[in-house]
Amino acid sequence: MNGWDVTVSGNTTHYRKRLYDAYGNHVGTIGISRPMKQTAKKKKPALYSFKQVSSQVLQAKTSTKAMQVSNSIRAKIGLLKKQLKNGDTDEEEVLRAILHAEMVMRACNKKKKNLKMEEAAERNIKAEEEMPVEPEESPDEAESEEEIKELEQAEFEALMEKLELSADEMMEMAKETVELDEELDEMAEALSGSMTPEDLEQLKVKHRSDEARDILKADLKYLKALFDRLQSEKENAGKSSFAGAGAYDSGVMLSLGGVDMTVMDTGTANTTVETGGAFDAEM
């Protein structure tokens, strides 16, 4: 802008120019103020692929491989937390990735435990096939085990009374106890050698189904958060474009004869002021 004095104050740029008549006499000053466009620094995306992490867990076929995958996911979580601490990566994206990774790692640890159980059952089935048949448990031994179970149940009920748990808490604890009992029963059966090959195959199907459901839940939660973020950005972009049409209109102030006057600016690059003569105020 030739002939203009330019100053910057905060986020606003100020342009000022002295006006002269045809005889070179100073007759006034024109000033234009324009807010500077704010361009937010775009942060780096999180270094994370949710599909890759989920696929690694689903593809693990042994407890050793599941353990390696779990350690790999734990390392990814550590890296994501470092990205979050540095502050140069999209915070919301990193938090979404950490939540997904932690959910998948729990599913992976469950798979590792399940695979260990299945591997133990396979070893016992193989050993059982090579060993002679043992005599069945005597009626006295079975009765003794039943008495022990009844005693354990009585002790459990007495403990619940002492804790004075609410009905909801009792229901939640009962649910967890049932799930734990099922897991213990599966483990006991696998380790005892009483599981048949058919039982083992059914157990594997149940385990893979449970693990896949947990991973699917993590993936859907991740995708929902991603979709919500994209929708929010789309709505905000629409609002910004609607409001932005007049966001950068110039403010023009004309001073003639010691009197300041605000002039509406239509956004043109050239401004002509007439007051008994022509004054060039080209920008």
Residues 173, 106, single domain; the answer is yes
Res 197 pLDDT > 80: yes
Residues 264, 217, single domain; the answer is no
Residues 82, 222, single domain; the answer is yes
Residues 177, 264, single domain; the answer is no
Res 100 pLDDT > 70: yes
Percent of the chain with pLDDT over 70: 58
- Asked if residue 44 is part of any domain, the answer here is no
Number of compact structural domains in the chain: 2
pLDDT digits (tens, 9 = 90+) for 16-61: 887 777 787 877 787 787 776 655 567 888 889 999 999 999 999 9
Question: What does DSSP say about strands 259-263 and 270-274: parallel, antiparallel, or unpaired?
Answer: unpaired
Q: What are phi and psi of 86, to 5 degrees?
A: -65, -30
What is the domain range of residue 174? 50-132+142-241
The tokens for 60 are: 């693990």
Query: How many whole angstroms separate alpha carbon 76 and alpha carbon 69?
Result: 11
